[in-house]
Structure 1
């Protein structure tokens, strides 16, 4: 039975959520891309996630894809719908979170949504409707320099209110934190905002567990990052009589004889730290070179990667287009933001296809847009979720005749040594 049906706005966010709910005791699967005729959730999945590339898409496209995914999930038995967006509320200037929330809330028949991006396990907290990243306001964090979705306003109600005509309310922490009547207080405030969108403060996992208990029996659209979903999974596991945190079932083994590859397209500070900490062979692809001669540049990168694989004696090989913020801005000024991103994503997707054709079956991919481009290039339609390397960073194995072990991670997630140590628990 599929209890929770999730519509995620990117691939790595989908895997993040699926990883934490699986670890909490709710087996999960991720369908990559809009559902197609004949698609079915993997057997045994109690949480089914559809991963879309809708975060930076035109709002009309994001709404159409999300509604189709939501209807598919309902048709396959989902009892609750959950809109997954980034824990840093990543959104373009025009924004897709609000329009998608409006449409999915209508699909539930309630016209209402309630949720929070708070995920304390990775340093995302919400207080008085303001989002903090590692204790700093969102606008003062590295997310202000995100190449596609720079986040310069920490006031979530203001950001969401600019994207929807419906009222946006905040349930502030002082109205429930530490209070004996906390569940009743939250319920009253959610009920008072019926017909609109409600954003919940949360600064600890205990707050998320409170919200999960309060919202578990409702019928409005749920939403947020992986933190609230993990709380819901813990609640579900408890009611089902299984031990929360029991973790995923073992994934099938994947052939490790063809080598290991890391593809890093994210320009986030954490991914750049992971690149700097990597001690193996590195192939760098320049966006300026791609703009001048994409075919020649990609061919050279593929040749360099394959040469490195042959001489690396089993060590992983890193292929990257990542840039520091200053150089990224210069590249975007020369070639345009969207074209620069597309050139980099397409190049890494081409490299992924070539190394898999050469026998590689285990890959780490850093960056949401990069992960979407790579999985599309490899024809991966669905993955099942395994062990987490770090909060929100699980290994997965692709469904289908050719098994691939894929770690698809948000650019901001994972320890600095991830590209070296993640292989220790790879399928």
Structure 2
């Protein structure tokens, strides 16, 4: 029976969270959305942790709260002892954002006297220092992520980010205060603590001090040490699925982050087949999804997979958005999703996707509702095996994650050797 439950505010964030729970030694059942009837191929008794992917990061706030509470009630019905609300390690939220309202509602549901705001992932350069979010040592609001198209990162101080969102106060918790913290000396009503978290060792200490709480919130950095604590209490270590499978691969990229652009450039430089989707040409009928698929099939015998991408520089993206931001995004995400479906229907068994919105569209189109989580290609990017189709391997990454040679690593790890 599962003891740890995680509610994530988007799909790639959920897979990120699941990967660190697996790294901490637990087996993970992953659900795309709130489970209804038991999914085909699911074996809940094997799962030591359950992760639920929602769409609450950019949903209307009322719906985000409603879905998060439904997910929490499902997890409680499965017997979990602790719930973790996972959001982005850069707390990408506006004054009207959903992190505060969802966290407040979960605190109320679980009658938690207090909890943590812990959006750190040091292994990927995301840290909390003196209550401020940092990206590779730079204040969040001064980093390259300040102009995120959906959730602009306008402030680095977590307390200030939460003030317009939450009904409850927030307090910074400095390293020297960590081990001697006593909730009796703080506010009588529910509140949040913001611990400094700069190193992996900080995460171990935070988990040791606060791992007993019924609710924790943050990025995925805290989940690995939490999982290790739970693993120490369980009778056996969790099992994970095999990473490799037979069959062809299709790579898709829609993220315009610097990391993904560098990964595309690297893959092209190795002489691999690549095809760029041009949104203006698609809108004008000069390029079609059918042409992209024909390119993929024509180069399908290449030793590596075909990469089809719409990623571009921020300047080009801004220019293209003049055609209609939502219309352009829907068209490109729809094309990526349709290509993934074509690939699976044509016998492809490996789908690799870069970008949160792109990956969300792909998974929705493929229709798999439950996954087992395997080893990671990069921190926060695991191999995912659909419970309904154990022959398929999916790798779905947030745009900012992964090494320069990420696509090659993903191809190598998912290919079963004879």
Matched, 1:212 2:207: yes
Match of 1:291 among 283, 287, 309: 283
CA 1:150–1:75: 2 relative to 1, 3 Å: same
CA 1:157–1:357: 2 relative to 1, 3 Å: same
Equivalent position of 1:179 in the other structure:
none
Match of 2:296 among 291, 297, 305: 305
The 2-side partners of 1:190 and 1:319 are apart by: 56
CA 1:184–1:192: 2 relative to 1, 3 Å: farther
Match of 1:183 among 159, 179, 193: 179
Equivalent position of 2:218 in the other structure:
224
Deviates more, 1:107-116 or 1:383-392: 107-116
- Cα shift at 1:118: 1.1
Tell whether the 8 Å contact from 2:244 to 2:413 is kept in structure 1 after alignment. Answer: no
Tell whether the 8 Å contact from 1:10 to 1:55 is kept in structure 2 after alignment. Answer: yes
Q: TM-score, normalised by structure 1?
A: 0.90
Equivalent position of 1:277 in the other structure:
266
- Cα shift at 1:161: 1.4
**Structure 2, gaps ≥5 residues long:** none
Equivalent position of 1:423 in the other structure:
411
- Cα shift at 1:384: 0.8
Equivalent position of 1:353 in the other structure:
341
Tell whether the 8 Å contact from 2:122 to 2:198 is kept in structure 1 after alignment. Answer: yes
Matched, 1:317 2:317: no
Match of 1:234 among 224, 228, 233: 228
The 1-side partners of 2:54 and 2:212 are apart by: 27
Equivalent position of 1:398 in the other structure:
386
SS in 2 for 1:227: coil
Tell whether the 8 Å contact from 1:106 to 1:112 is kept in structure 2 after alignment. Answer: no
- Cα shift at 1:270: 0.3
The 2-side partners of 1:419 and 1:351 are apart by: 18
- Cα shift at 1:238: 3.1
Counting matched residue pairs gives: 410
Question: Residue deviations 1:135-165, cap 9 Å, x none?
Answer: 1111122211322222121111111212122
Equivalent position of 1:11 in the other structure:
11
The 1-side partners of 2:292 and 2:72 are apart by: 39
- Cα shift at 1:110: 2.5
Equivalent position of 1:197 in the other structure:
192
CA 1:148–1:118: 2 relative to 1, 3 Å: same
SS in 2 for 1:142: coil
Tell whether the 8 Å contact from 2:94 to 2:154 is kept in structure 1 after alignment. Answer: no
The 2-side partners of 1:191 and 1:11 are apart by: 35
SS in 1 for 2:323: helix
Tell whether the 8 Å contact from 1:23 to 1:247 is kept in structure 2 after alignment. Answer: no
Equivalent position of 1:146 in the other structure:
148
SS in 2 for 1:309: coil
The 2-side partners of 1:87 and 1:386 are apart by: 22
The 1-side partners of 2:245 and 2:185 are apart by: 46
Equivalent position of 2:104 in the other structure:
102
Q: TM-score, normalised by structure 2?
A: 0.92
Tell whether the 8 Å contact from 2:132 to 2:157 is kept in structure 1 after alignment. Answer: yes
Deviates more, 1:3-12 or 1:285-294: 285-294
SS in 1 for 2:90: coil
Equivalent position of 1:166 in the other structure:
168
SS in 2 for 1:183: coil
Q: CA RMSD in A?
A: 2.2
The 2-side partners of 1:157 and 1:193 are apart by: 18
Match of 2:374 among 363, 370, 386: 386
